[in-house]
Structure 1
Amino acid sequence: MSGPLEGIRVVEMGVWVAGPSCAAILADWGAEVVKIEPPEGDPFRGLGAAFGAAMNPPFELDNRGKRSVALNLESSEGRRIADELVSRADVFVTNMRPRALERLGMDYARLSALNPGLVYCHVTGYGPDSPEANRAAYDVGAFWSRAGVVAGLTPAGAEPPLQRGGMGDHMTGANAAGAVAAALFARTRTGKGQRVSVSLTRIGVYMMGWDTNTQLRTNLPPTPPHDRRHAPNPLINPYRDANGRWFYLLLLQGDRHWPDLLRALGNPPELAEDPRFADIPGRRDNAPALVEALDHILATKPLEEWGPIFDANDVWWAPILSVAEVVQDPVVRAAGAFVQVESPMGPVEQVNTPADFSDTPTRPGSWAPELGQHTEEVLLELGYDWEAIGALKEAGAIL
């Protein structure tokens, strides 16, 4: 068996990241995924120009394991082919806006009537039934900006930081894949499909749930993030070693871990005997002085020496890694974060999708397809002959 979703047929009509990433996870889980693209292709393909070479690593990650069918859904012939694909599918995944789906005849009401067992997964910015269901968003808008994420990461008086590409999209796509699996399970009991809705804003609000739930319960907004010298708990804070390398202390339970840290540092009197640092309130109120003292001590040894000392004294810590370091880190690799994928150039290492299954192990599918690479192949499977395929090309219904 090649994954828990082996035998499940998925039709994706997605663009950019949130919808396609959901379908890519389903493909890694064993589903057969057909990606419907317009003749001009998913605009995500255009990102490849940024790399100045015949590659598009972000697109390759979010579209591997799929077959691409290029259809002109503005034509009746193209819509008929899409209907045939959906009528045979278990799942439909899209992140297009509701008005575009209605115009193209790919909305939930119509497709569920065509295929009552269909699980229709609609990934949106603000929710398919919200007043702004048709507002353009991207994850920068609906997740990063509107859900409170960027405000929660911006210190008072500082400028908002830029988001890295696809962060909210990938969280949303992973949640959507889980929701699809749950809906498929429900279908085994009811025989009926349903609409699954996952929005970037909902995911952002849930990710910021501690802050947002505190706002709901107390009506008091969380304080803006502190700089490291004013950390409420200086024992869960970043520090630098003798080589200037950053790492995090992870001593969340301050009073529990304070004796461990003192022991690891050799019980320096400037810490152990200073009453300002004796308990959690004191360390909070005197954070600048404590951070300065810890900075001085921790800068005396490299992390290669501190690490074993911390471990021997039950001081919890983690290195702060760059992406270049992440891809070489043995712990990250042992966690299964990377996977070999067969490409036209031979085996290529890529990021793995985020779940493993002990009894139905997953494996990555084929390389991300070229635009319309599988149009003829899929049409032959639907029962079209070469003469009919040629006529569809001449009519502009397929690429």
Structure 2
Amino acid sequence: MTESSVLGGDAPGPLDGIRVVELGIWVAGPAAGGIMADWGADVIKIEAAAGDPQRAVFASIGVRDDIPVPPFEMDNRGKRSVVMDLRDAAEVERLHGLIASADVFISNMRPGALERLGLDHQTVCERHPSVVYGLVTGYGLEGEERDRAGYDVGAYWARSGLAHTLMPPGELPPNPRSGMGDHQTGMTLAAGVMAKLVERGRTGRGGLVTTSLLRVGMYSIAWDISVEMRFGKRAATTSRTEASTPLVNCYLAADGRSFWLICLEGDRHWPKLLAAIGPSSLDADERFATAKGRYRNASALIAELDAIFAAHDYEHWTSGFNEHDVWWAPISSIPDVLADPQAQHGFVDMTPRDGDEPFRAVATPIDFAGYTIRPGVVPMLGEHTDEVLADLDEH
């Protein structure tokens, strides 16, 4: 059976008929809501009159404010936008009415702010016991820093230990790419909400599901943290020239393109790599004949491989790797990914507004047999306020 006969189709999304009310800003909370919208849920995004600040993120960092904001489009496509003034107690009560009509309520506002609004999980779950309450925090619901400002660069990247594990001694970590931790955390919350919906199908009761940027960051490096906890140390972070695994390392070809060898099973993969390289000084070098020898002489082997790979271009090496079953991966730029045939299933055609040019975006990274994600239009601020509130008042 081919992939094309399994994936895609006209079936409703797996969350068809599920209503989600989202009180989220920036990325992590809206990312969870955006995933659910892609999966077919009716997601109602509650915004203040000024809008989710992510709508104006380019302007906030000093870039132009008259251009589209793809990060906002990515996480908010297909939602319905409703403007409410939650400083008004009557509007909060109206929001409770909307939550009562929903299956899921999600937020990434700080716990203290939600408590002041009467939208904390205790209040919402008591008033609406069948609703699944999904919450993203920076640092967790407990502890002195439960209301500390997070952002993924602080809680996920810096505080979790992730940034430190990536830097060699004496160096500072590179700046992370925007939204990396937020999107992992949004996906984590979405998974938790799905599990809680399954439980609700058995018990009839909703309840709290929560995760944090800090926890997801820690889970991302659970391998290193687990080793540290058991043995009191972990493998040091080094530069690539000092790595202890020469066969799981990156190299540069003569034309400036690079690749990563992923020959993890050394004794199995070493003969194949030698075959792909062809006759060389490595063949008879006893230092590299065994996995232990390659480990003990890792820096020397990396230097030898650097010199060998610098002699020919990328196509020469990668075609040889493929011929001899050497495991490797290209080190792709974003333009490379956009042109990569294997990556094309990772993009989705967005739904433009009338008069706008068609455009594409990254797809949610999960496919369902029989269902094709067809993102709805990215909502204008407050575009659906009258429609949603009129329906609420009617019912």
What is the TM-score of this pair, normalised by structure 1? 0.92
**Distance in 2 of aligned mates of 1:11 and 1:365:** 18
Higher mean alpha-carbon deviation, 186-195 vs 368-377, is at 368-377
SS in 2 for 1:369: coil
What SS is found at the alignment partner of 1:272?
coil
Deviation at 1:52, TM superposition (A): 4.9
Cα RMSD (Å):
1.4
2:207 corresponds to = 194
Structure 2: distance between partners of 1:191 and 1:350: 37
Structure-2 residue corresponding to 1:159: 172
Q: Counterpart of 1:378? A: 388
**Structure 1 CA distance, aligned partners of 2:29 and 2:169?**
34
Unaligned runs of at least 5 residues, structure 2: 1-10
Conserved 8 A contact 2:243-2:298: yes
Q: After superposition, what is the alpha-carbon deviation per residue over 1:104-149, rounded to whole angstroms, capped at 9, x for unaligned? A: 1111111112211000001111111233111111111111011110
Q: Find the aligned partners of 2:315 and 2:296 in 1 and give their Cα distance.
A: 31
Partner SS state of residue 45, structure 1: helix
Query: Do the aligned residues in 1 keep the contact of 2:244 with 2:299 (CA within 8 Å)?
Result: no
Alpha-carbon contact 1:11-1:33 (below 8 Å) kept = yes
What's the CA shift for 1:54?
Answer: 2.6
Structure 2 residue identity aligned to 1:373 = E
Which of these residues, 276, 286, 301, is aligned with residue 297 of structure 2? 286
> In structure 2, how many angstroms separate the alpha carbons of the residues matched to 1:91 and 1:346?
34
**Mapped partners of 1:372, 1:77: distance in 2:** 18
Which of 352, 365, 375 matches 1:343?
Answer: 352
Structure 1 match to 2:262: 250
- Note if contact 1:230-1:287 (Cα within 8 Å) is conserved in structure 2: yes
Preserved CA contact (<8 Å) 2:125 2:131: yes
Residue matched to 1:130: 143
Mapped to 2, the partners of 1:2 and 1:129 lie a distance apart of 39
Q: Are residue 356 (structure 1) and residue 367 (structure 2) matched?
A: yes
Q: 1:7 aligned to 14, 17, 29, which one?
A: 17
Give the counterpart of 1:321 among 326, 332, 336. Answer: 332
Partner in structure 1 of residue 183 of structure 2: 170
**Superposed displacement of residue 194, structure 1:** 1.2
**Correspondence for 1:58:** 71
Give yes or no for contact 2:105–2:132 (8 Å, CA) kept in 1: yes
Give 2:109's aligned amino acid: M
Residue 339 of structure 1 and its aligned partner are, at CA, apart by: 0.2
- Displaced runs of 4+ in structure 1, greater than 2 A? 48-54
Secondary structure of 1:224 counterpart: coil
Say if 2:349 and 2:375, in contact at 8 Å, map to a contact too.
no
| SS of structure 1 residue aligned to 2:292 | helix
Q: Displacement of 1:364 after TM fit?
A: 3.5
Q: Tell me the equivalent position of 2:3.
A: none
2:379 equivalent to 1:369: yes
For the 8 Å contact 1:156–1:225, the answer to whether it is kept is: yes
> In the aligned structure 1, how far is the partner of 2:144 from the partner of 2:221?
23
2:43 aligns with 33
Q: Kindly state the Cα deviation for residue 384 of structure 1 after the two structures are TM-superposed.
A: 5.7
Give matches, 1:226-245, under 5 Å.
226-245=238-257
Determine if contact 2:56/2:65 at 8 Å carries over to the other structure: no
CA–CA distance in structure 1, aligned partners of residues 143 and 16 of structure 2: 34
Counterparts of 1:51 and 1:187, CA distance in 2: 46
Name 2:307's counterpart in structure 1. 296
Whether 1:204 aligns to 2:214 is no
Cα deviation code 1:166-207 (max 9, x no counterpart): 000000001111111110011000000010011111111111
The answer to whether the 8 A contact 2:275-2:324 is kept is yes
